[in-house]
Amino acid sequence: MTYEDVLKEISQQSDKLIVMTAENRAAIRNLPPHLGKRFIDVGICEQTMIGMAAGLALRGRYPITHALATFLVFRAYEFIRDDVAIPNLPVKMVGGVPGFLSDANGPTHQAIEDVALMRGLPNMMVFCPSDAEELAAGIKVLAEYPAPCYIRHNPHPAPIKHVAPFEIGKAETLSEGNDVAILVYGFLLREAVKAKEILEAHGKSVRLVNVRMPKPIDEAAVLKAARECALVVTLEDHFLTGGLHSIVAELLLKHKLAGNVLPIALEQRWFKPALLDRVLEYEGFTGKQIAEKILKALS
Binding site for other proteins (CB under 8 A): 37-38, 40, 42-43, 45, 47-61, 63, 78-79, 82-83, 86-87
Neighbours of 296 (CB within 10 A): 9
- φ, ψ dihedrals at 270, nearest 5°: -80, 155
In terms of CB distance, is 6 or 57 closer to other proteins? 57
Minimum separation from the CB atom of position 146 to other proteins (A): 16
Helix, strand, or coil (residue 129): coil
Minimum separation from the CB atom of position 61 to other proteins (A): 6
Minimum separation from the CB atom of position 40 to other proteins (A): 7
In terms of CB distance, is 52 or 112 closer to other proteins? 52
Neighbours of 29 (CB within 10 A): 10
Cβ pair 252, 281 in contact under 8 A: no
- What residue type is assigned to position 176 of the chain? E
Minimum separation from the CB atom of position 218 to other proteins (A): 33
Minimum separation from the CB atom of position 82 to other proteins (A): 5
In terms of CB distance, is 55 or 216 closer to other proteins? 55
In terms of CB distance, is 61 or 153 closer to other proteins? 61
**Sequence-ordered list of residues with C-beta below 8 angstroms from that of 268, at least 6 positions apart, any chain:** 239, 240, 241
**Sequence-ordered list of residues with C-beta below 8 angstroms from that of 58, at least 6 positions apart, any chain:** 87, 89
Minimum separation from the CB atom of position 69 to other proteins (A): 20
Cβ pair 234, 185 in contact under 8 A: no
In terms of CB distance, is 43 or 120 closer to other proteins? 43
In terms of CB distance, is 20 or 252 closer to other proteins? 20
Cβ pair 95, 69 in contact under 8 A: yes
Q: Cα 40 to chain center, whole Å? A: 24
For residue 198, give Cα distances in angstroms to 16, 235, 241, 288.
47, 16, 28, 7
